[in-house]
Amino acid sequence: MITAVYPGSFDPVTNGHLDIIRRAASLFDRVIVAVAYNSAKEPLFTVPERLEMLTAVLDDLPNVLVDAYRGLTVRYAQEQGARALIRGLRAVSDFEYEFTMSLTNKKLAPEIETVFLMTEAQYSFISSGSVKEVARYQGCLDDMVPPLVARLLQDKFRANSKG
């Protein structure tokens, strides 16, 4: 059984992430979508909130699991017995960061391959950051995130503006 780990912040999960997850699920026996506790980023959603969203929107994919991890991604992948890390590429601008990270990960864990899936054209402009910006100013989130995520984003910004 070949397991792949798809690590990321998923703050929040977007249709771009979901497309990568569905495609990875058709290539690997098991895909673990792994939410990183990342102290360097100030998140909008807590890790438990992100896990809950991912679990809800992925419930039709039986070979996809959702989990959270701390520390080195490759160490987590090794603990899960994974053979591959999945990453998505949207544009040339993603490449340099992803290239450096994949070489670092290869040095740390030579047995784990990073597999890059190219975004579908209709998702290439979507990022968690841009989705949050649109939600902050009550823009339309159709086709960018699943309806559940759109609702939770709207609730979050409504709560934040009251607080």
Site string for ligand ADP, 13-52 (x = CB under 6 A): -x-xx--x--------------------------------
Evaluated on CA atoms 76, 80, 84, 85, the torsion sign reads: negative
Phi, psi of 87 (to 5 degrees): -140, 150
- In the complex with ligand ADP, the residue whose CB is nearer, 103 or 158, is 103
Active site residue 39: no
Which of 49, 106, 119, 132 touches ligand ADP by CB under 6 A?
119
Residue 8 engages ligand ADP in binding (rule: CB under 6 A)? yes
Contact present, 2 and 83 (Cβ < 8 Å): yes
Phi, psi of 136 (to 5 degrees): -55, -35
Active site residue 107: no
Which of 4, 5, 10, 18 touches ligand ADP by CB under 6 A?
10
> What is the spatial order of strands in the sheet that 84-89 belongs to?
64-69, 30-36, 3-8, 84-89, 113-118
Q: Which stretch binds ligand ADP (CB under 6 A): 5-13, 24-32, 105-113, 137-145?
A: 5-13
Which residue is listed with tokens 């989130």?
141
Q: State the catalytic residues.
A: 17, 41, 90, 128
